[in-house]
Structure 1
Amino acid sequence: MNKTLRPERIAHTEAALAVHAPDLVPGFLAALPEAADTVGRRLRGALVREGLKDMGPGTRHGFGRVEYATAGVDDPLDMLDGLDAPGFAAEIRNAVMNLAIALARPHPVPGDHPDEQIIALERLAVAGHNLHPCGRTRLGWDTGDVLAHDLEAGRTRIGFVAVRADLHIGDDVYPEIGKPSGYAVQPVHAWQRDNVLPVRYADLLRTKALVVLDDEREAVPTAALRTLLLPGTGDYLKVSLDIQVTSTRRSISVASTRNGPAVSKLLHDLVDDDRLLLMAETAGAAVPAGSGRDLSAIRRDGLGPRLQPGERAIPGGALPLLLGELVTGDPADWLRAYGELVVPPLMRLTAQGVALEAHLQNCLPTFVGGRPHRLALRDFAGLRLHRPRLAAAGHTVDLWPGSVVGTDDLDVFRAKIGYTLFQAHLGELVLRLPMDEADAWRIIRRIVDEHVTGEDHAAFTAPQVPHKALVRMRLAGHGDLYVPVHNPLHAPA
């Protein structure tokens, strides 16, 4: 019997693996203690950081972060005692099982294309999101689905649905497939096609308003799962996938499909820094039937063709794991160069009314000889646009009605970039670099002092700043929630 988790929580997954991939069973069982401890350490730190429970002394860091050497319990669910968290408990359990599967699986051999090399690096961050305890939650998939479609599978499939033209909103996202007369063609994740469409859209399938086509294409899953690399095209395709990963079901709103190309154009108009690379969303479409979220798709530019000789792109999620390779000299000098790469352009965009969701998962810094060179940015669905600032800068953008990305609230606007850039992104690097943390934050503070002014400077260097409370959000079951945390950027440089 495994000593880390109660046997009833292991038996179902072990039995499924015995059917689908019996060779993985020993590795899965051996990986369970590490998986439980990884999820447990993140949960333990989040419970303390968000003021939910006293979990004992740990190592304290900037922005209220608390790190623990171990989870302190064999089963992470024991930490939820006293909390009303039945749904969250299922998410934690699912995360542990799937992380153990991922740890047991061999990594696929990557292709030669630069974007496939980028995805291979994403697989290094096997635990997923660097702060969320549920980085490996895949609620809605069974074990067979995880084996077929998760990041470690290396390949998945895209299917296609002919959509009666009057039910289709947006662009021709996949023109490589011919359209039957009177129809548009919409790409769909093979799992979504096989498991969601027959249940939710039986009437539309029966009346031929939707027609499942025989065509399929191979695709490479990224860490985002619903975003897939299209081999041979240099493009990515983001498709609806109605499973829960971390805090969110990964379907896509109509608004995201229509806003993506418009926001990409706005960003191109605003960005005049040749050190920024925008992975533009070039086309988007949806089918506003049912929930309106199940058949959405967005086409995105790849990065590979734009890289220079000797330039290496590293997905942000893998960056903390590669610092030992990249930082061969003075870590303070490296951090200064990295901070100068990311902070000034993102703060300029903020001043003009664009708060990007600049956490590690959306950023791909590039390096030449280990030195920070350029910054690629992707996935603009989670940003916030401050309409008064955009107007003052002489810009407008035509957003889909009711879009949450547009706001007049400066606190909401600043919280988006402040949390993702300084806490989730730079905070992770500061934690991992071999240098004094106070010295590291002084370096970032000097960059902020040089490039940020006025009320933005006051907000980003305030004594306390809002921290996105990931566990509180799961317990509440809806919306973004923030808690105040101590700001290491408050100390003068």
Structure 2
Amino acid sequence: MLYLNETEAILQKEAWEKVNRSLLAKMLAEYMYEDMIHPEKVNEYYVLTTQNERKYRFKAEKRYFDSYDVKEETIEVMEKNVWRPEVNAIRFLTDIQENIGMSSETAGHLIKELNHTLIADAYLLAHHVKTSDQLTELDYAELEGEMSGHPWITYNKGRIGFGFDDYLKYAPEMQRETKLFWIAVHRGLAQFQSVSELHYDKLIANELGEEMVQNFREVIQKYGKSPQEYYFMPVHEWQWLNVLVQNFPEDLANQKIIPLDEGTDHYLPQQSIRTFVNLTNRYKHHVKLPMSILNTLVYRGLPSERTVIAPQVTAFVKDIFENDSFLKEECEVVLPGEVASINVSHPHYSELKGAPYQYLEMLGTIWRESIYGYLKEGEKPITLAALHHVDPDGKPFVQSLIEKSGLNADEWIKQFFGTIMPPLLHFLYQYGTVFSPHGQNTILILKDYKPARLAVKDYVDDVNISDQPFPELAGLDENMKSVLRSEPPEGLTQFIFTGLFICHLRYMANVLVTNDLMEEKDFWSHLAEAIQAYQEKFPHLEERFKLFDFFKAELTKLCLNRNRMVDYGYGDGDDRPHASEFGKVRNALHDIRQETMTI
């Protein structure tokens, strides 16, 4: 099947030029932020001359945190001494290759990722036509499929490993329901872990039902094997077809891994592609599965050691919550835990010193508590990513929420920061523990369209602890300490500063400013006020406020595009790539507080 109708529907000249202009504006803005390109300001334009003597010009407005809002309709290129509108993002990439010191190997792979991204953007343009007013009424699981991906990374829907058929079948923007395929894995190969109140038989009975559990046992018995010697676990169809059969043939031949059947429940993939919400029963667990595709910076597998320890991390986080009245009773923060996991290490790759990390993350499952089980009457969850979404008519999603809430923008944003910041700050300051609260991991719970509570998920990848000798961390066992990332003070601060402020809030602020909903300074002032209000409430933590300082004049600039394009490329290292450090970013919160103190 060639999907010719689908190709034609997506790839229309006018749409292709539009998504190229949008991506080009994003590339200019983010590469300027990451100090990869340095256009000159000439009158009302910024002008960039590339090493191959091509000239680009565009208009842009400066924003806080050394950022820019590039006006896509103003981007032009000089051709035959005439300025013409530029509509080719890939050509721009090849033009700046020498400017930024990008290898041809990296550029070649990146062209592929950018083309995949542009195809997905063209699909979104053609098919996602719901207004922001309509989106505010969508359920959490469906809303995720309306989002357009990482706001900072320019190759945000690269999905290397997918064919066009895979894209049409599995991408979250397709919003196609799916069933999960189940396999049986011999217990000699697999590690099962869970929180203390959940054992394996209880989990599987809840996920499959007794009838299907019995059917699966009978399949194993037909092979002359004992069901008690196996764990049942779901796998993604794409992973089975493209990775598992090819990499585990010995275990399949020896019936150490036995294919079973599809489950009966229907699921919907979320923005990460590999996390699924159960639509048949929304109170059942969300399921996270490895998919060995390269998307954004990493292969989307499940790291073995973190998969094994996930329930233990959940127990650690929940123990803090249960014993802290501020988190539990005042904030009522929601912590959907990763309560069970199965990891299967590859028998050969795991013995290979320095093996590429993606081969160590191919087979596993994590079960996470459903957000729906935590909601009160009238509450509605949305991921933070929705708050910088703009509909096809140019109306921001957050504007629709503000209008329906009955608050003005200033009141809504104050309530927003008063909701999300206190629990994040409390975990950091009081317990030396931080989440990575970017737009996908952080869930805002609304009540009557107003910010009401915060939920934070994804502990397996994104819970990190301080390297300082805090008594609150003294009880952690060495196994936990060896797996969780232990960071010095600025490193830990960066998870909130970069993960939330830079990776999410600067885009949200830009949407508000561009649509005349709020002054930029007012937005960031409300954030500064929320941090200060927390600090005034807990003066006994003053030394830690200095240690994890959100008001420093500058912080290390972490770069995501630079990591792929210049520093890491497409190498097959034994560890996942992390954000690159390059230069400093001027901290608007410092400037705002300085102004406040001098008034």
Do the aligned partners of residues 254 and 340 (structure 1) sit closer, same or farther apart at CA in structure 2, a change above 3 Å counting?
same
Q: Which residue of 1 aligns with 2:56?
A: none
- The CA deviation at 1:76 is 1.3
Contact 2:69 2:510 in 1 (8 A): no
Do the aligned partners of residues 335 and 158 (structure 1) sit closer, same or farther apart at CA in structure 2, a change above 3 Å counting?
same
Do the aligned partners of residues 426 and 396 (structure 1) sit closer, same or farther apart at CA in structure 2, a change above 3 Å counting?
same
- The CA deviation at 1:429 is 2.5
Contact 1:353 1:389 in 2 (8 A): no
CA distance in 2, matches of 1:121, 1:388: 40
Equivalent position SS for 1:327: helix
Q: Is 1:20 equivalent to 2:24 in the alignment? A: no
- The CA deviation at 1:198 is 1.7
Q: Which residue of 2 aligns with 1:221?
A: 269
Q: Which residue of 2 aligns with 1:196?
A: 243
Q: Which residue of 2 aligns with 1:119?
A: 141
- The CA deviation at 1:103 is 3.2
Query: Residue type of the partner of 1:61?
Result: R
- The CA deviation at 1:395 is 4.3
Contact 1:342 1:375 in 2 (8 A): yes
Match for residue 249 of structure 1 among 274, 299, 306: 299
Q: Which residue of 2 aligns with 1:482?
A: 581
Equivalent position SS for 2:280: coil
Q: Which residue of 2 aligns with 1:146?
A: 167
Equivalent position SS for 1:326: helix
- The CA deviation at 1:270 is 1.6
Contact 1:149 1:155 in 2 (8 A): no
Equivalent position SS for 2:38: coil
Q: Which residue of 1 aligns with 2:279?
A: 231
Contact 1:159 1:213 in 2 (8 A): yes
- Taking structure 1 as the reference length, what is the TM-score of the superposition? 0.88
- The CA deviation at 1:128 is 0.6
Q: Which residue of 2 aligns with 1:89?
A: 111
Q: Which residue of 2 aligns with 1:8?
A: none
CA distance in 2, matches of 1:446, 1:231: 40
Q: Which residue of 2 aligns with 1:277?
A: 334
Equivalent position SS for 2:437: coil
Contact 2:267 2:280 in 1 (8 A): no
Equivalent position SS for 2:272: coil
Contact 1:98 1:138 in 2 (8 A): no
Match for residue 472 of structure 1 among 547, 553, 562: 562
Contact 1:227 1:239 in 2 (8 A): yes
Q: How does 1:2-81 map to 2 (within 5 A)?
A: 19-20=2-3, 22-23=5-6, 25-29=8-12, 30-55=14-39, 56=46, 58-70=60-72, 72=76, 73-80=86-93, 81=95
Query: Residue type of the partner of 1:59?
Result: E
CA distance in 1, matches of 2:554, 2:438: 20
Query: Residue type of the partner of 1:298?
Result: I
CA distance in 2, matches of 1:169, 1:267: 22
Do the aligned partners of residues 387 and 261 (structure 1) sit closer, same or farther apart at CA in structure 2, a change above 3 Å counting?
farther
Contact 2:436 2:463 in 1 (8 A): yes
- The CA deviation at 1:311 is 1.5
Query: Residue type of the partner of 1:76?
Result: A
CA distance in 1, matches of 2:463, 2:556: 17
Q: Is 1:258 equivalent to 2:271 in the alignment? A: no
Do the aligned partners of residues 441 and 454 (structure 1) sit closer, same or farther apart at CA in structure 2, a change above 3 Å counting?
farther
CA distance in 2, matches of 1:245, 1:389: 36
Q: Is 1:382 equivalent to 2:462 in the alignment? A: yes
CA distance in 2, matches of 1:401, 1:372: 34
Equivalent position SS for 2:363: coil
- The CA deviation at 1:27 is 3.8
Q: CA offsets per residue over residues 27-46 of structure 1, 9 Å max, x none? A: 43253223222322222111
CA distance in 1, matches of 2:312, 2:451: 29
Contact 2:442 2:455 in 1 (8 A): yes
Query: Residue type of the partner of 1:488?
Result: A
CA distance in 1, matches of 2:5, 2:377: 43
* CA RMSD in angstroms, aligned pairs only: 2.5
Match for residue 413 of structure 1 among 474, 489, 492: 492
Contact 2:110 2:155 in 1 (8 A): no
- The CA deviation at 1:193 is 0.7
Q: Which residue of 2 aligns with 1:5?
A: none
- The CA deviation at 1:357 is 0.4
Q: CA offsets per residue over residues 41-60 of structure 1, 9 Å max, x none? A: 22211110011112435222
- The CA deviation at 1:387 is 4.8
CA distance in 1, matches of 2:433, 2:313: 10
Q: Which residue of 1 aligns with 2:377?
A: 309
- The CA deviation at 1:224 is 1.0
- The CA deviation at 1:325 is 1.3
Query: Residue type of the partner of 2:400?
Result: E
Deviates more, 1:184-193 or 1:386-395: 386-395
Do the aligned partners of residues 486 and 231 (structure 1) sit closer, same or farther apart at CA in structure 2, a change above 3 Å counting?
same
Do the aligned partners of residues 163 and 75 (structure 1) sit closer, same or farther apart at CA in structure 2, a change above 3 Å counting?
same
Q: Which residue of 2 aligns with 1:10?
A: none
Q: Is 1:438 equivalent to 2:422 in the alignment? A: no
Deviates more, 1:287-296 or 1:94-103: 94-103
Contact 1:24 1:104 in 2 (8 A): no
- The CA deviation at 1:107 is 8.2
Contact 1:157 1:216 in 2 (8 A): yes
Q: Which residue of 2 aligns with 1:334?
A: 412
Query: Residue type of the partner of 1:25?
Result: E
Which has the higher Rg, Structure 1 or Structure 2?
2
Unaligned regions of 5+ residues in structure 2, if any? 40-45, 47-58, 77-85, 131-135, 194-199, 218-226, 350-358, 390-396, 536-541, 569-576
Q: Is 1:423 equivalent to 2:522 in the alignment? A: no
Q: CA offsets per residue over residues 116-145 of structure 1, 9 Å max, x none? A: 8112212232x2112211222111000000
Equivalent position SS for 2:11: helix
Equivalent position SS for 2:180: strand
Contact 2:151 2:504 in 1 (8 A): no
Contact 1:107 1:123 in 2 (8 A): no
Q: Which residue of 1 aligns with 2:574?
A: none
Contact 1:239 1:296 in 2 (8 A): yes
CA distance in 1, matches of 2:493, 2:22: 31
Work out the percentage of aligned pairs sharing the same amino acid.
Answer: 20
Q: CA offsets per residue over residues 55-102 of structure 1, 9 Å max, x none? A: 435222122221211165322122322233332222212211222234
Equivalent position SS for 1:242: strand
Q: Is 1:298 equivalent to 2:376 in the alignment? A: no
Equivalent position SS for 1:296: strand
Unaligned regions of 5+ residues in structure 1, if any? 1-15, 109-113
Contact 1:254 1:285 in 2 (8 A): no
Match for residue 267 of structure 1 among 317, 323, 346: 317
- The CA deviation at 1:365 is 0.6
Equivalent position SS for 1:170: strand
Contact 1:115 1:304 in 2 (8 A): no
CA distance in 2, matches of 1:115, 1:466: 39
Q: Which residue of 2 aligns with 1:451?
A: 534
Query: Residue type of the partner of 1:422?
Result: F
- The CA deviation at 1:472 is 0.8
Q: CA offsets per residue over residues 265-294 of structure 1, 9 Å max, x none? A: 111122242431111111011101143311
